[in-house]
């Protein structure tokens, strides 16, 4: 049981499957200058979490506490914080990749990583949004410059990033095509997707053309093949940032563009996301919400790669 100076976290000492995740007690952090201590109410679980759990990724060897999404209540503020006061409800993404640690009862965050939680959603929904929403926003709006009337192809459109990207693209007036297995087509049509492609039955490179923006959430050969469906000057944005130079070289040969990106913590982006939520244009679909102690179960579900929407941990 945590005390005034301690907190529960979900940590790991070795790399491996979901079974390596353990509930631990550790010292509660204190905010430094320009930092905020947040009492976590909910925190999303993303593919990057289970990949880091298994491989170490950017973080190397454990021990570490995962989690980048957070929604909760400001518990204390550091010197110089003028934006928030204790009691404010906030949400945001900790700096990716080295600011991890939200799968805990409390977390310290830079003040500029957070924004006021939209009143129209609960903490579970708010905690599901930051990483996937910022990823989609930065990919579509900042990197691709998506404009009304453009044609967008979203790969794995029913996934965490995908289903949010669809809503952001529709909110900006785009024509949206999504790839997904047949069982998820009705879900995507409900989100407003204009055309749905069953990637198991149809080669998307033969089914679509004259695309302005492709959001690649799959990586590898999928990103390079996506170049073929672009109009001249179109762009593929891949959120899988590693790989050979083939993607960029093939893009140059075809007269199109390609970029790889990592999501970046950003208050301005969170404000844009909050406005979309308040306007009723963006809602996360929750694939499952699990108490903090059951984090391993959330990871097991995530490992299947078959969830629709987002997984979230809740903290009492």
Q: How confident is the model at residue 1 (pLDDT cuts 50, 70, 90)?
A: low
In angstroms, rounded to a whole number, what is the distance separating the alpha carbons of residues 194 and 176? Answer: 5
Query: What is the average per-residue pLDDT within 157-179?
Result: 98
**Domain ranges in the chain with CATH number 3.40.50.720:** 132-260
Instruction: Calculate Rg over the CA atoms of the chain.
Output: 19
**What's the length of the chain?**
316
Tell me: the pLDDT tens digits for 22-66?
A: 999 999 999 999 999 999 999 999 999 999 999 999 999 999 999
Give me the CATH code for the 132-260 domain, please: 3.40.50.720
Q: CB burial class (10 A; 0-12, 13-18, 19+) of residue 87? A: exposed
Residue 163 has which token pair? Answer: 């289903």
User: Could you give the residue range(s) of every CATH 3.90.180.10 domain in the chain?
Assistant: 6-129+284-314
Evaluated on CA atoms 26, 32, 38, 44, the torsion sign reads negative
> pLDDT tens-digit profile of 179-204?
999 999 999 999 999 999 999 999 99
107-119 mean pLDDT:
98
Whether the upstream peptide bond of residue 18 has omega within 30° of 0, thus cis, is no
d(CA 32, CA 100): 17
Nearest to 26 by CA among 103, 127, 114: 103
**Residue 4 scores a pLDDT above 90:** no
- Please choose, from the candidates 93, 87, 88, the residue with its C-alpha nearest in 3D space to the C-alpha of residue 116: 88
Domain 6-129+284-314 falls in which CATH fold? Answer: Quinone Oxidoreductase; Chain A, domain 1 (3.90.180)
Closest CA to 156 of 130, 136, 127: 136
Predicted pLDDT at 95: 98
């Amino acid at each position: 049981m945590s005390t005034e100076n301690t907190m529960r976290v979900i940590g790991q000492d070795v790399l491996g499957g979901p079974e390596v995740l353990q509930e631990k007690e550790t010292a509660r952090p204190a905010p430094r200058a320009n930092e905020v201590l947040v009492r976590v109410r909910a925190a999303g679980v993303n593919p990057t979490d289970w990949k880091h759990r298994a491989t170490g990724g950017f973080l190397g060897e454990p021990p570490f506490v995962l989690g980048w999404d957070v929604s909760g209540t400001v518990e204390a503020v550091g010197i110089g914080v003028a934006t928030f006061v204790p009691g404010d409800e906030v949400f945001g993404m900790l700096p990716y990749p080295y600011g991890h640690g939200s799968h805990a009862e409390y977390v310290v965050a830079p003040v500029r990583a957070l924004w006021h939680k939209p009143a129209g959603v609960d903490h579970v929904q708010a905690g599901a949004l930051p990483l996937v929403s910022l990823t989609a926003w930065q990919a579509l709006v900042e990197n691709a410059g998506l404009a009304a009337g453009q044609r967008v192809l979203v790969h794995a459109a029913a996934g965490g990033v995908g289903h949010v990207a669809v809503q952001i693209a529709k909110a900006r007036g785009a024509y949206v095509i999504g790839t997904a297995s047949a069982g998820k087509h009705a879900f995507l049509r409900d989100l407003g997707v204009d055309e749905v492609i069953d990637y198991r039955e149809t080669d998307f490179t033969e089914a679509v053309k004259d695309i302005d923006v492709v959001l690649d959430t799959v990586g590898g050969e999928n990103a390079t093949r996506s170049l073929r469906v672009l109009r001249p000057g179109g762009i593929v944005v891949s959120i899988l940032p590693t790989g050979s130079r083939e993607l960029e070289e093939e893009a140059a040969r075809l007269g199109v563009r390609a970029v790889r990106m990592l999501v970046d913590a950003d208050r301005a982006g969170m404000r844009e996301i909050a406005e979309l939520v308040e306007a009723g244009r963006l809602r996360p679909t929750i694939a499952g919400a699990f108490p903090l102690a059951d984090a391993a179960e959330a990871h097991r579900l995530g490992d299947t790669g078959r969830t629709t929407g987002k997984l979230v941990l809740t903290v009492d």
